[in-house]
Structure 1
């Protein structure tokens, strides 16, 4: 009787293993089963979802939910609610009616969220715009102190520096057992467990990470955590799976929005520069060389090489600041006007009366990564050129020029570039930005024809991770969309 029970239990266990392997295999063959691949983009402004149907070679209509700022009462904070972000992600996923073959999360990096022993967030998401590292404690800000202790300068908003500042400000939640980025957090919530790895594209923005060796600086880790032998997140392999949802959907490890966007919008990597203009601005150049200018960041790119990235803290945000100024003047005159009407007025005045070069506008309104205390300015003002049209064109030129300066410093790589691929709401909605890009870079400019390139890149990365698509097929897919 006991022998029969053992045999039956062994048979049941074997049947269970067969079912598990068969189910996983069917899931990973999502392309042939008519499954779609989903990219989730957790942006600073919106949480978006891209749904890729490989069978039809199409993108289903993108959906998004606003990602609002959370007021913490701290003047230096720029925070968001990780629970609201998770709720938004799950709401978006419920809108997908087709079977899902893979998931991959991308979006904003640099910031951190603390979690407890159950993996649940116990703090706000302190985003990349947060400035707690500049708060004085005992007469010195955390950025300067970390530099004095380690010799490593971390830009304001980087995750390790944010934790270091929170320790000094006594702002680490008592119940916290660790912290990660919002991309790791949402991925862990999807797979139902805390993850201890992430793609190197997500690890770099924490700071003090070597993209060549894929290791954090031990001295910085020890100082930031205040413990010897401290460890943080490890690097995963390119296109590695983090786990499965309770429904059995494969989930790839998250990828930073810069790398995901490049993968989703650039097909000819060595000859195309990607210029992104959202809240902030970036120029990304692909290279197999790990040597890049000190003013730029070397970022790992999916095991294929590196992106040499020049990043600004304002782009669309600088233009939005000018918009607020104009709107306040109109309001002060007792007139009512919508935000959209103000933007249209700016475009009209810039096109009709803006003279390039008439006003010089420094758009570092929130500083720069290297100089967080730098501020913007308007110069070359004469008696007859301080006009709305010139302010509009000067601001756009200032935004573009800040990005162009990176290409000058990376001239060895940039010389191989044959065109600019531009993305972001600023260039899609305002032709003045494309004109400024053409003037400055003197290369053909293509506007990416997707609403969310990072989300598309994440969807493609998920498809590659489950074997539904090869990397070369993904590049061909992107190339066909650009031609379209």
Structure 2
């Protein structure tokens, strides 16, 4: 085995390492460690421990037996943590699921106040809004020298110094960022930071190296998981859409057009163009919510049944007794990015259709339909799409999700046979950054590996 390229995916649930051996033309089995929630005692908080995340990363890297040529960090974006003058974290990581911006201070929540002050509505969980909320809640640590995302933090710890830049794919989720000019809106920065003198992260170049580890391994600036996943899983950018189903859901469409529907986000894509992205707050989480309901009913009836057995039962009932379209489930159980306070619903319900199997199929169809609606709104960009590349444990493990994709999108569906698409994409980005791969070569590697 020659030198390898490592992608590190700092996910909400797991921290995963992907190792790419280009010389042998293969991916080593991905290795993951859990990334649990950190209890802060705040009902609105969804936090994690940045020190534990760093230790998990170092534990994973220690398992690589071959010499490492490059490392690229990807994973969850939107959230923030605070660090001191030495670059060490002095707060939890407040993740994209955190809702502190919806807490009222002096009769108004931070999201609404920022909108009134600047005219800019930032979705709950976005980094600049989280900092704005912390300032109002008195939650900014006294020894904080600055704040950044977990991807910037892990990258800085690997290269041994704070970094003052990041890939635009990571900057956008902080909010108020123009993906075309790669700059933040000054009026929002001034209101959020409270001073013109305070600086924030700048944009790096595509595939730029941030520094080197103590062992002289090149570490690129981090890349957002959406862009890394598209880079690692889609070989035909114009004619394929990426559908990702994890805790949340996303549909990503590549375009060189800077105009996209207001319901979707325009995200920079490694200097090659843009992704038009429709993102939901629940996908797998909605299905998990239905699982928890079914499990509680069965256990209340005295059944000793495992979570896995409940999932198996749901698949069986959906396949054998569910009738597609007979029960509609709106799966916006935790709102949407544009409407955080909206909630889901089930109906119309009649005397015949409220069944176990129909609830399962209705929930799956609701998850898929929320993504499909984004596609319809994107017009000609979506019309050019001939195939769907689907990723996530839901589509790999559950035939019902694949059938729903085929039924709703009416296009061929390719289920990516890669354990962690974002991690794979990050490994490829590192390889490009040090000149081990060209962009045309990347597309060839992707086309061969996502089906292998």
Specify the alignment match of 2:36 in structure 1.
68
* Equivalent in 92, 98, 108 of residue 124 of structure 1: 92
**Does 2:327 correspond to 1:354?**
no
**Does 2:66 correspond to 1:98?**
yes
Distance 1:483 1:65 in 2: 25
Cα offsets for 1:319-371 (capped at 9, x unmatched):
00000000000010011100000000000000000111111100000000000
Cα offsets for 1:90-126 (capped at 9, x unmatched):
0000000000000000000000010000100000000
* Equivalent in 210, 226, 243 of residue 258 of structure 1: 226
**Does 2:325 correspond to 1:370?**
no
Distance 2:212 2:403 in 1: 46
**Does 2:292 correspond to 1:327?**
no
Distance 1:105 1:92 in 2: 13
Give the TM-score, by structure 2 length. Answer: 0.99
* Greater C-alpha radius of gyration: 1
**Does 2:7 correspond to 1:39?**
yes
* Equivalent in 280, 285, 309 of residue 312 of structure 1: 280
CA contact (8 A) 2:172 2:267 kept: yes
Specify the alignment match of 2:363 in structure 1.
395
**Does 2:12 correspond to 1:55?**
no
Distance 1:413 1:159 in 2: 29
Distance 2:208 2:416 in 1: 27
Which has the larger share of helix?
1
CA contact (8 A) 2:416 2:451 kept: no
Once the two structures are overlaid, the 10-residue window that deviates more, 255-264 or 407-416, is 407-416
Distance 2:416 2:337 in 1: 26
Specify the alignment match of 2:128 in structure 1.
160
Cα root mean square deviation, aligned: 0.7
CA contact (8 A) 2:418 2:450 kept: no
CA contact (8 A) 1:271 1:418 kept: yes
Specify the alignment match of 1:6 in structure 2.
none
Specify the alignment match of 1:199 in structure 2.
167
Q: How does 1:273-312 map to 2 (within 5 A)?
A: 273-312=241-280
Specify the alignment match of 2:179 in structure 1.
211
* Equivalent in 310, 321, 344 of residue 342 of structure 1: 310
CA contact (8 A) 1:143 1:154 kept: yes
Cα offsets for 1:266-312 (capped at 9, x unmatched):
00000000000000000000000010000000000000000000000
CA contact (8 A) 2:417 2:451 kept: no
Provide runs of 4+ in structure 1 moved above 4 Å: none
SS at match of 2:271: coil
CA contact (8 A) 2:254 2:275 kept: yes
Distance 2:6 2:13 in 1: 19
Displacement of 1:169 in angstroms is 0.1
- The aligned length equals 452
Distance 1:327 1:471 in 2: 47
Specify the alignment match of 2:235 in structure 1.
267
Displacement of 1:61 in angstroms is 1.2
* Equivalent in 32, 44, 47 of residue 79 of structure 1: 47
**Does 2:234 correspond to 1:234?**
no
Distance 1:185 1:481 in 2: 30
Distance 2:373 2:40 in 1: 36
Give the TM-score, by structure 1 length. Answer: 0.93
Displacement of 1:229 in angstroms is 4.0
Distance 1:371 1:406 in 2: 15
Displacement of 1:473 in angstroms is 0.7
Cα offsets for 1:404-430 (capped at 9, x unmatched):
010010012101101000000110110
Structure 2: gaps (5+ residues): none
* Equivalent in 369, 376, 394 of residue 408 of structure 1: 376
Distance 1:267 1:231 in 2: 38
CA contact (8 A) 1:222 1:229 kept: no
Specify the alignment match of 1:169 in structure 2.
137
Distance 2:116 2:317 in 1: 49
* Equivalent in 423, 447, 454 of residue 415 of structure 2: 447
